[in-house]
C-alpha cells in the first residue's frame, strides 16, 4: 500500500476507527479496522466463516473495495447502529397524528446513523381546509421546517450529522414555494431538495401546454408548463437547488416495477427507494486495478475486478443479516428484497492512469465496457448466491426476467437467473463516495472526474473547529512518484471545471446504462454560463436516459468544501451573519416570561420567549426583532420530558429564521385525548394549544400588532417578568451545572431551563 496522506488517517481516526472508552478496546491501525469488518461480516457463513473472512479482508486491503461509511464505522463494534447509510421513510399521512408519527420514525432512524428521504407531496397544500378543526392547513413546507429542526438537534451515531432529501411532485399546488424555499439562506439547511419531474411535464413543456397544479382530485391553479420548468431551472441556476429526478423513468426501469412504486430517493439521489426502503452501499475502487499506469499498455485488470465484485456482493449481502434497523418496517423491506448498491469510485483516476481523457469518446467507451462487466459480474454472483442461499423472498421469475436491466445482461447471466433466481433484487448504484474516497488516499469520487490535482479541503475536527489541508489527487500523486516533480502532465489529466457540460452529461448517461438504481453526480458549470445553455444541460440529461440531474454553478448562496489553492477566498461573513447562520446564542437577549395555569396541572407553567435583534438589511437602517429561543418550565415533573423536547424543537425552528407562525398554528390544532379545558373563558383543546396561543401573542407583540386584553386566567406576563427572564439575570447566576445563561426564577427557586438544575431559597 502506498504511503497515506494525512487526510486519510485523519478521516479514519474521526469517522471509522473503533474506540470503546469503557473497555479500552480500539482499532490501532487501519488494518485493524479492515480485520474487524471482515470478521463481523463473515460470521453469517457458518463453517466457512474463516474462509470468507480471509476473502473479505483481501478485497478491503489497499482500499480495493470500499464499504460505505456506516459499515466501516459500525460493523463488529457491538454498537446499536445501522450499517445502512440511508433510508426512504414511510408515506406521510395527511393528518397531524400521522405526520408526527413519521417525525418520530425519522428521529429514531437518524439516531442510529441513517440519512432519510421523504416525499412531502402527500400533504395537502397551504390554505386547504382541515376538516373538523375549522382551520387552514399550513402546507408541506411548514412541516419540512419541523423536520429540519429535528435533524439539526440530532447527532447521528458516530460523528456524522443527519442528512435528508425532500422531494415534491411537479403537480403539487405548493410546488413553486418548494422550488423557491432555499432562496431563504437560513431555511431547510439540513435538506437536499429535488422535484419529481414526470414525462408528462417534459411533454407539456415541449408543447407549451398548460399545466394544472392539483391535490386530492381538485385543481388549485393552472400555469404554463414552461413557466414551471423555468422556475425550477432559475432556482437551481441561482442557488444549486432543487435537483431534478425523472421519476417516471425510475419507475419504468425499476427491476421491481410490478411490485412497488418509488416516490423518493436517499439524500444524495443514487438510491430511488420505496417506502421504508434501505440503501446499502459499497464501491469498487477502479484506481487500484490499473495495470502499468501511464504507460502505453495501461489497462484495467477486468479479471481481478471480476473476483472483487463477486466477493463484494457476498460481503454486502451479509450486511443485511448483520445490521441493526431503526424500524421493523425497514428490516422487513430490506430482507424481503435484499437490495444492494454496489458501485464504483476512482473512475476519474483510472481513466487518467489509462491515458484516457474524461468526457472523451474513448472515456464513454471505457465506461460502457468497465461498468458493463461489473454489472454482469454482480448479477452473476447474486444468481450463484441464490443457488446457495435462496433468492430474495419476493422474487417472481416471470416478472423479474422482463426488467429492462435484466434484459440488457449477457445471455449466460440471464440463464443463471432463470435457473436459480437471484439473491438481490437490485445490485448496482453509484454513490458520491466523498469521504471514503478521501479515506482511500484521495481517490477521485464515484463517477466524477478529478476535482483538482491538488486542492484545499476544510476538515471538521472533533472539537467542531475546521482546518484546511492541501491534498493531492491519487492519480496525480502516482504520476509524480513515477516521473518526477517537473514532468509535464499528459492531456489525460483534466479537472472538473475544464470539462464542457456535455462531457459531464455523456459520462453520467454512459454509466446509467449499467446501473439499476441511480447515480449521484454533480455537473460542474461555469458561473457565467447563459441561462438558456444551463437549461439545455437538464434537457440533454433527460434525452440521454439519465434518471436525474444535479448541477453546481458557483454562486454567492452556496459555499464549497473543496477549493483549489489558486482560488480567491470568499469574504468572511460578519459576526451577525455568522450568528444567524449557525444559531449561536448572544450573551444577552431581550425577552418575556409568561405565566399560565392549566386546570389539569397542579403547578403554574412558565413560558419564556427570548428574541434576537438584527439589522433590517435595508436602507432605512432600522432593526428587526424575531424569536430566537423558548423555555417551558413547571415544577410538575410529569411535564419535564415533553416540555424539554418541545423547548429544543421550537427553539431550533426559531433559530433557523423565516416565518415561524406555523408553530403557533400547529400547536393550536393539537387536541388532548384526555380532554381540553376552559382557560379565561375560552376553550383550549390542550395545554399545547395554550402554549401555541402564547407564541402567537408574543409574535403579534414583536410585530407591533394590537391584541385583545387578556381576560382573567389567560396567559399573561408573570410578575416581575422583566427582572427574571434569562436575558436580564446577572452573569453570576449563569447555571453552575451547564454554564449556560438559562436560569430563571420559578416560584421561589432558581431553575435552569436547559439542564433542569434547581436551587430553592
Catalytic positions: 266, 268, 270
**DSSP letters spanning 620-685:** T--EEEEEEEEEEEES-GGGHHHHHHHHHHHHHHHHH-S--HHHHHHHHT---TT--EEETTEEES
Sheet with strand 341-345: strands edge to edge: 65-67, 281-285, 341-345
Dihedral sign, Cα of residue 448, residue 454, residue 456, residue 457: positive
Question: What does DSSP assign to residue 574?
Answer: P
- Rounded CA-CA distance 538/231 in Å is 13
Half-sphere exposure of 50 (CA within 13 A, CB side): 1
Q: What are the b/e assignments for 50-86, b being 16+ CB within 10 Å?
A: eebbebbbbbbeebbbbbbbbbbbbbbbeeebbbbbb
The total number of residues written for the chain in this structure: 761
Q: Among all chains, which residue has been given the C-alpha cell 434537457?
A: 539
Q: What are the cell numbers at 639?
A: 411535564
Angle subtended at Cα 59 by Cα 55 and Cα 60, rounded to the nearest 5 degrees: 110
Q: Among all chains, which residue has been given the C-alpha cell 443485511?
A: 320
φ, ψ of residue 197 to 5 degrees: the values are -95, 125
Q: What are the b/e assignments for 292-306, b being 16+ CB within 10 Å?
A: ebbeeebebeeeebb
User: How far does the chain reach from its first CA to its final CA, in angstroms?
Assistant: 66
φ, ψ of residue 45 to 5 degrees: the values are -90, 5
C-beta of residue 670 within 8 angstroms of C-beta of residue 688: yes
- Rounded CA-CA distance 561/349 in Å is 20
- Rounded CA-CA distance 548/192 in Å is 14
- Rounded CA-CA distance 423/339 in Å is 9
Name the nearest CA neighbour of 319 among 264, 279, 371: 279
Helix/strand number for the chain, H first, E second:
26, 32
- Rounded CA-CA distance 356/419 in Å is 39
Amino acid at each position: 500500500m502506498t504511503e497515506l496522506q494525512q487526510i486519510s488517517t485523519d478521516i479514519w481516526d474521526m469517522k471509522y476507527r473503533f474506540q470503546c472508552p469503557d473497555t479500552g478496546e480500539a482499532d490501532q491501525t487501519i488494518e485493524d479496522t479492515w480485520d474487524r469488518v471482515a470478521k463481523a461480516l463473515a460470521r453469517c457463513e457458518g463453517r466457512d466463516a474463516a474462509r470468507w473472512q480471509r476473502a473479505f479482508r483481501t478485497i478491503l486491503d489497499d482500499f480495493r473495495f470500499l464499504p460505505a461509511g456506516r459499515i466501516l464505522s459500525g460493523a463488529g463494534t457491538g454498537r446499536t447502529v445501522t450499517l445502512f447509510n440511508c433510508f426512504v421513510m414511510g408515506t406521510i399521512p395527511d393528518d397531524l397524528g400521522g405526520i408526527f408519527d413519521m417525525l418520530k420514525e425519522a428521529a429514531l432512524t437518524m439516531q442510529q446513523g441513517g440519512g432519510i428521504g421523504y416525499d412531502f407531496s402527500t400533504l395537502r397544500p397551504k390554505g386547504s381546509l382541515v376538516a373538523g378543526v375549522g382551520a387552514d392547513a399550513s402546507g408541506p413546507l411548514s412541516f419540512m421546517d419541523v423536520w429540519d429542526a429535528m435533524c439539526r438537534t440530532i447527532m447521528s451515531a458516530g460523528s456524522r450529522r443527519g442528512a435528508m432529501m425532500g422531494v415534491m411532485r411537479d403537480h403539487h399546488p405548493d410546488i413553486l414555494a418548494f422550488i423557491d424555499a432555499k432562496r431563504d439562506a437560513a431555511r431547510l439547511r439540513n435538506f437536499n431538495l429535488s422535484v419529481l419531474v414526470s414525462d408528462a411535464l417534459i411533454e407539456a413543456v415541449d408543447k407549451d401546454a398548460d399545466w394544472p397544479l392539483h391535490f386530492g382530485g381538485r385543481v388549485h391553479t393552472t400555469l404554463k408548463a414552461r413557466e414551471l420548468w423555468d422556475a425550477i431551472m432559475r432556482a437551481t441556476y441561482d442557488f444549486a437547488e432543487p435537483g431534478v429526478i425523472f421519476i417516471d423513468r425510475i419507475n419504468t426501469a425499476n427491476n421491481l416495477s410490478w411490485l412497488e412504486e418509488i416516490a423518493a430517493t436517499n439524500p444524495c439521489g443514487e438510491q430511488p427507494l420505496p417506502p421504508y426502503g434501505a440503501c446499502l452501499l459499497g464501491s469498487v475502487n477502479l484506481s487500484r486495478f490499473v495495470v502499468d499506469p501511464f504507460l502505453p499498455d495501461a489497462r484495467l485488470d477486468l479479471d481481478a475486478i471480476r473476483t472483487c465484485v463477486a466477493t463484494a456482493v457476498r460481503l454486502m449481502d451479509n450486511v443485511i443479516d448483520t445490521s441493526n434497523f431503526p424500524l421493523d418496517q425497514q428490516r422487513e423491506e430490506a430482507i424481503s428484497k435484499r437490495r444492494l448498491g454496489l458501485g464504483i469510485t476512482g473512475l476519474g483516476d483510472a481513466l487518467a492512469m489509462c491515458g484516457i481523457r474524461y468526457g472523451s469518446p474513448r472515456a464513454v467507451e471505457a465506461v460502457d465496457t468497465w461498468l458493463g462487466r461489473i454489472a454482469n459480474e454482480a448479477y452473476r454472483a447474486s444468481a450463484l448466491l441464490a443457488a446457495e442461499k435462496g433468492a430474495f423472498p419476493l422474487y417472481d421469475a416471470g416478472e423479474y426476467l422482463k426488467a429492462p436491466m435484466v434484459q440488457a445482461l449477457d445471455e449466460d447471466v440471464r440463464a443463471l437467473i432463470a435457473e436459480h433466481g437471484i439473491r438481490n433484487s437490485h445490485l448496482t448504484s453509484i454513490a458520491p463516495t466523498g469521504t471514503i474516497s478521501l479515506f482511500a488516499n484521495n481517490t477521485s469520487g464515484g463517477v466524477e472526474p478529478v476535482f483538482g490535482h491538488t486542492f484545499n479541503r476544510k476538515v471538521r475536527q472533533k472539537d467542531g473547529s475546521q482546518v484546511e489541508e492541501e491534498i493531492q489527487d491519487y492519480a496525480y500523486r502516482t504520476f509524480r512518484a513515477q516521473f518526477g516533480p517537473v514532468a509535464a502532465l499528459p492531456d489525460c489529466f483534466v479537472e472538473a471545471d475544464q470539462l464542457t457540460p456535455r462531457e459531464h452529461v455523456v459520462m453520467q448517461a454512459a454509466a446509467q446504462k449499467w446501473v439499476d438504481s441511480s447515480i449521484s453526480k454533480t455537473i460542474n458549470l461555469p458561473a457565467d454560463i447563459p441561462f438558456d445553455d444551463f437549461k439545455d444541460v437538464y434537457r440533454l440529461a433527460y434525452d440521454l436516459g439519465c434518471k436525474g440531474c444535479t448541477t453546481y454553478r458557483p454562486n454567492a448562496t452556496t459555499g464549497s468544501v473543496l477549493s483549489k489553492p489558486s482560488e480567491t477566498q470568499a469574504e468572511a461573513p460578519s459576526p451577525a451573519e455568522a450568528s444567524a447562520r449557525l444559531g449561536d446564542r448572544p450573551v444577552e437577549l431581550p425577552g418575556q416570561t409568561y405565566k399560565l395555569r392549566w386546570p389539569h396541572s397542579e403547578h403554574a407553567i412558565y413560558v419564556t420567549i427570548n428574541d434576537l435583534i438584527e439589522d433590517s438589511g435595508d436602507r432605512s437602517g432600522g432593526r428587526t426583532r424575531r424569536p430566537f429561543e423558548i423555555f417551558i418550565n413547571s415544577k410538575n415533573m410529569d411535564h419535564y420530558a415533553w416540555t424539554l423536547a418541545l423547548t429544543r424543537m421550537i427553539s431550533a425552528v426559531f433559530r433557523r429564521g423565516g416565518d415561524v407562525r406555523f408553530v403557533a398554528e400547529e400547536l393550536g390544532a393539537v387536541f388532548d385525548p384526555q380532554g381540553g379545558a376552559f382557560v379565561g373563558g375560552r376553550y383550549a383543546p390542550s395545554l399545547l394549544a395554550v402554549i401555541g396561543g402564547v407564541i402567537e401573542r408574543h409574535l403579534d407583540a414583536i410585530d407591533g400588532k394590537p391584541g385583545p386584553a387578556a381576560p382573567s386566567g389567560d396567559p399573561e406576563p408573570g410578575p416581575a417578568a422583566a427582572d427574571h427572564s434569562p436575558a436580564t439575570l446577572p452573569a453570576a447566576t449563569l447555571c453552575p451545572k451547564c454554564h449556560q445563561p438559562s436560569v430563571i426564577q420559578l416560584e421561589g427557586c432558581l431553575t435552569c431551563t436547559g439542564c433542569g438544575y434547581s436551587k430553592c431559597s
